[in-house]
Amino acid sequence: MQRYYNSYYLSNTVLILVYLAFRRISKKPTDLMIPDQFLPESIASNREVQIMTLGAIAVIIKYLKSPTHEVFFLNFFFFFKSSSITLLYFSDTWLMLWYLNMCFICWMLFKMPFTLHENKFSKFSSVAEFEKEVLNKKTNWVFLFYSPINNDCIATNSLWCDLSVKYTTNALKFAMVDVDQSRFLSQRCVVECDSYSRQLPCLVVYSEGKETKRFPPVGKNGELNTVINYKVKEIVKFLGIDRLYLSTRDNSN
């Protein structure tokens, strides 16, 4: 629970409380001009109930699909603030503007923190070190390229840490590279150095000095899939990590 006691979670919790306070002093959101004939009469024209219900459904769906708690909280805070701004728009425009400004300030000042969980990552920072340890040896490597200020990297970090703990052997090792700190190494491995790139986080598998797979996969023209799903079992199978683990686990300590 201690990881949730930081400025990001606290500031977003405050925004929830602020909305509740604004809701008490604002008028009830205006009803829909044309009631929905397919809904019960009590909520057919009730804009507030409908917006909050849609927001709740979206949060539940995102929760079921979220690979980590961090991903869920990112989605939860986003949908709550979006619903709150919409409701305030239909009740009090000035309060809506105040709340929108507060959300923007919190977004600018407070980011979800990047926290390393228990892991077995080695850290690489130079091209020379990479070529010596990875390209000139028969050890299998899984490289994680990340940025500590990229939301996707922050939200999925626990997934990759768990993978490193679960699958590391003497002949299958995991390494991590901060693209902000190691731009030359990232470029050497054909990974974008932009902290907000959609290519991050990027996992690249090297077997006997050669790249065999990478996730997310990149097309011939450098394009990425429109939607990237972080489903661990599918990623492990796609990259062949499970196969490498089975073939090397007898050599582990």
pLDDT digits (tens, 9 = 90+) for 171-205: 899 999 999 999 999 999 989 888 888 889 999 99
pLDDT at position 231, please?
83
Within-domain flag for 116 = no
Within-domain flag for 156 = yes
157 lies in the same domain as 205? yes
Question: Considering its fold, how many domains does the chain have in total?
Answer: 2
Look at residues 67, 82, 109 and tell me which one is the last residue of a structural domain: 109
87 lies in the same domain as 127? no
CATH number at residue 158: 3.40.30.10
245 lies in the same domain as 137? yes
103 lies in the same domain as 203? no
Look at residues 80, 109, 138 and tell me which one is the last residue of a structural domain: 109
pLDDT at position 201, please?
92
228 lies in the same domain as 125? yes
pLDDT at position 206, please?
93
Domain of residue 75: give its range: 2-109
Global pTM value: 0.78
Look at residues 109, 133, 166 and tell me which one is the last residue of a structural domain: 109
84 lies in the same domain as 143? no
pLDDT digits (tens, 9 = 90+) for 210-236: 899 999 887 766 667 666 778 888 899
Within-domain flag for 133 = yes
Please, are residues 177 and 133 in contact by the beta-carbon 8 Å criterion? no
Query: Splitting the chain (253 residues) into consecutive groups of 10 residues, what average pLDDT does each group show?
Result: 80 94 82 57 64 83 81 90 89 92 94 86 89 84 93 90 92 93 91 88 91 84 69 89 85 53
